[in-house]
Structure 1
């Protein structure tokens, strides 16, 4: 009887150490796991399929992340196919740079599933009008992706009055004063001059509850212009953390302050500490006029 009890207690002790070890291992593995960032591109105009892979490579090289870049097939002007969207199921952050896509419902299902996880999202410029399904199409609701996913206007023009101030204009960018200490703006020196022509999102967007980070003033606008927010954070209709910027012309990516904004925002979205800056990236991508 004594031996049996002794064996039992020895077994219990070993089992306890086993559980403790496994728990410690699991916690360590979780801590060491690289966050996965999935970039989804296809924008006709701004060469997001070229600028964002450079950001992705920088995240892997200097910031300890794993990245996957998805591109419209067979080219950026192809509106109906972005292969590999199933990768979103493993993403910790999804970054979108889209313009007027008409993806099939089986591909939309991967985006829909991601949205329902309430994991964070990031969007660039034309992602305000990411989809463009014809009236009456079964996927027409996706035309409002900008609103329900990124707190921006629900598509281009229309009642939202979402427009811009002319391709020959550009934008002076400054910090919203009460956000000067926002961690996303760490090292983001303003004012800086962006090649992106200013998007109008006011008066109704970003949606209520969003936090405005940067504002833009149109330079040499082609018609009467007002200042508009060009970067904001918030919580979308699914309850996910979001970061959205209406900047994103390829020349904007040459600006160190814009690069820092993007890197900082990615870390913030992932709940990570804003990192020490690893230096300016060499991003030299050409603008491609929309067709």
Structure 2
């Protein structure tokens, strides 16, 4: 009865939407992509709707975007306990996520866990290496915490947790250099000129990872600045030039989960909302969805932006106040 009443309220417009759904345009692919936003710094509340519009309107996927909300129904990325409408995960065929330090309630966490255990492919951006933090020690999900002794959910599935800003944060941008040995991988079809104005993260994916791109640290914040050159020590206390070797910034894995099924993983430490103004990075993400679903990757996927996209610069505390999920609906 409660669910019936909620449905009536939603249909009548008396209850504000807590998520947004983009129905496919053109020939439907019959797959449901759920995009999870929830980070305090990199504006995933702006980038996930943009990617959902591309995947639905350019490529025929049904897309649902979920948010972190405050009590007033507005988007509050700093609310690490919130994920709106987690029921969408029950029918997810793939997950695209940019999360940081989330600690959802048990019911929401179980829905995410169940989706992962079904073997859905996961496309994980930027801070998803440290997606979870703050679960109590006696919680069944404490093992997801990024600073768990095992490295948490990020280390287990993506192959890395939070380590360090390898480049100088907000001073040195990233140029993506395609890994020559894997340049013909389908996920790299049509991908070129990778650039993001975020810095390179320190990352050491395991041996089973297929490296797609490495991050060349630039001296400045624009793509035309030369590479940086100075010495720095890794977490393992090995001193090296920051660009020799370059850190991986995009890689693939196939990981067996706790239920014994396998998840196809595309992880990239790029992916702030500002990074995704880059066509090559958007194409990498879209290609990852096709690859993860076992569908043919287009030769050059259409990743043209649907509507307007003027992302807010990243940084703590600078998210747009008062935004609601309904504000990201497609223009009628």
Matched position secondary structure for 1:83: coil
> Which residue is 2:255 aligned to?
236
CA displacement, residues 98-143 of structure 1 (integer Å, 9 cap, x when unaligned): 0011211221111111111112111000000111126735232111
Unpaired segments of 5 or more residues in structure 1?
1-30
- Tell which deviates more after alignment, 63-72 or 111-120: 111-120
Give the Å deviation of 1:57: 0.9
Residue 244 of structure 1 and its aligned partner are, at CA, apart by: 0.5
**Residues 41 and 137 (structure 1), Cα distance of their counterparts in 2 relative to 1, 3 Å cut:** farther
Rg comparison, structure with higher value: 1
CA contact (8 A) 2:272 2:314 kept: no
Please name the residue that 2:215 is paired with: 216
In structure 2, stretches of 5+ residues that fail to align are 1-26, 71-75, 146-151, 220-227, 233-241, 318-332
Match of 1:56 among 52, 56, 81: 52
Report the Cα distance in structure 2 between the residues aligned to 1:33 and 1:134, rounded to whole angstroms: 37
TM superposition shift of 1:186: 0.9
Superposition deviation, residue 283 in structure 1:
3.3
Paired with 2:29 and 2:309, the residues of 1 have a C-alpha distance of 28
Q: Following the alignment from structure 2 to structure 1, what is the Cα–Cα distance between the partners of residues 41 and 231? A: 22
1:148 matched to which residue of 2? 156
Structure showing greater relative contact order (alpha-carbon pairs closer than 8 Å, 6 or more residues apart) = 2
Matched, 1:257 2:257: no
Pair 32,197 (structure 1): closer, same or farther in 2 beyond 3 Å: closer
Q: What is the distance in 2 between the residues matched to 1:62 and 1:119?
A: 22
Over 3 Å counting, the alpha-carbon distance change for 1:279 and 1:100 in structure 2 is: closer
| Alpha carbons of structure 1 residues 180 and 84: separation in structure 2 relative to 1, 3 Å | same
Structure 2 CA distance for aligned equivalents of residues 214 and 274 of structure 1: 18
Compare the two structures and name the one with the higher helix fraction: 1
Residue 67 of structure 2 corresponds to residue 71 of structure 1: yes
Instruction: Please say if residues 99 and 127 of structure 1, whose CA atoms lie closer than 8 Å, have aligned partners that are also in contact.
Output: yes
1:104 equivalenced with 2:105 (yes/no): yes
| Counterpart for residue 32 of structure 2 | 36
Confirm or deny: 8 A CA contact 1:34 1:65 kept in the other structure.
yes
Contact 1:163–1:201 at 8 Å: present in 2 too? no
Tell me if structure 2 keeps the 8 A contact 1:41–1:72: yes
SS at match of 1:200: coil
Give TM-score, length-normalised by structure 2. Answer: 0.71
Using the alignment, how far apart are the partners of 2:48 and 2:126 within structure 1? Answer: 13
> Secondary structure of 1:97's partner?
strand
- Residue-pair matches, total: 251
TM-score, normalization by structure 1: 0.80
1:249 Cα deviation from its structure 2 partner: 2.0
Q: Which region of structure 1 is more displaced relative to structure 2, 52-61 or 222-231?
A: 222-231
| Runs of 4+ off more than 6 Å | none
The residue that corresponds to 2:199 in the other structure is: 197
